[in-house]
Amino acid sequence: MLVAALTPLTVLLGGFLLDRRLTLLQQEQWGRQKVIERRIKAYDELAPQLNELYCYFCYVGTWKKLDPPQVVEMKRQLDRNAYISAPLFDESFLPKYNLLLEKCFATFGSWPDDAKLRVFSDRRVLAAGTAWQTQWNRCFTSPSEFVDPHQVQAAYVQVMHYLAHAIGIHEVSSQQLGSTPIHSLEETDSPRDLQKGIVSDIGQAGSASTITPYHGPEAVT
């Protein structure tokens, strides 16, 4: 009699617990999906401008279309979006992001000064021609702080690897992100060499640096 009376209660309790567990699993899945959606939105905001930086500092793609003040303003926009989005990612995101920005810009100068571009200006001047404005020369740092484009390329690939993995894209290689051959031009390059480089966009010179692929951020659990 007692067993017969307890059986319906046991079934009812088991059904209640199972339903509760399924509800919790659905809520967890919904939460993970929302995080991925927010990460994708952050990627859509960050990736185009990160690519613009890569092009500008490595002399590839659209590097001639940006003037120095535009690049400095781009840093402000990137910093704002990166720090707003940082809680969506694990603790390795900001160090990778900041490494790339440190390769591109010199900061912590005088209080009212903008960040300075850590790259030679000669090719920019020649590419801009008569459109170049002399005040833009103040946008560049001293030669002692210039960074080789290969270092920029390596930092760019690392942060883009991270962002791709963070949104669930694991089949991505360094070649897809930054395989365009680049090389460094010194300030002492002759005008003829500079002009030749402008025409070729460095497409045939140098070789891509060796880059260790990033294996992905902490999984969303």
Residue 25 has which token pair? 């699993």
Question: Could you report how far apart the first and last alpha carbons of the chain are, in Å?
Answer: 46
DSSP single-letter state for residue 63: G
- Angle, alpha carbons 153-155-158 (nearest 5°): 110
**180 domain-assigned:** yes
169 pLDDT tier (thresholds 50, 70, 90): confident
In three-state secondary structure terms, 155 is: helix
In three-state secondary structure terms, 106 is: strand
Strand spans (E) along the chain: 105-106, 116-117
**16 domain-assigned:** no
- Polymer length in residues for the chain: 221
**220 domain-assigned:** no
Q: What is the mean pLDDT of the chain?
A: 77
pLDDT for residue 29: 66
pLDDT tens by residue, 10-59:
666 666 666 666 666 665 665 577 888 999 999 999 999 999 999 999 99
If one counts the domains in the chain, the total is 1
Give the C-alpha separation, 210 to 153, whole Å.
10
205 pLDDT tier (thresholds 50, 70, 90): very low
pLDDT tens by residue, 124-135:
999 999 999 999
**102 domain-assigned:** yes
At 140, give phi and psi (nearest 5°). Answer: -105, 145
Mean pLDDT of 161-189: 67
Kindly report the pTM of this predicted structure: 0.72
pLDDT for residue 24: 63
| Domain coverage including residue 185 | 34-200
**70 domain-assigned:** yes
- Listed in sequence order, the residues at least 6 apart from 138 whose beta carbon sits closer than 8 Å to its beta carbon are none
Amino acid at position 132, single letter: W
**117 domain-assigned:** yes
Residue pair 102/116 in contact (Cβ under 8 Å)? The answer is: no
- Angle, alpha carbons 178-71-64 (nearest 5°): 65
Amino acid at position 143, single letter: P
Mean pLDDT of 58-71: 93
In three-state secondary structure terms, 121 is: coil
**122 domain-assigned:** yes
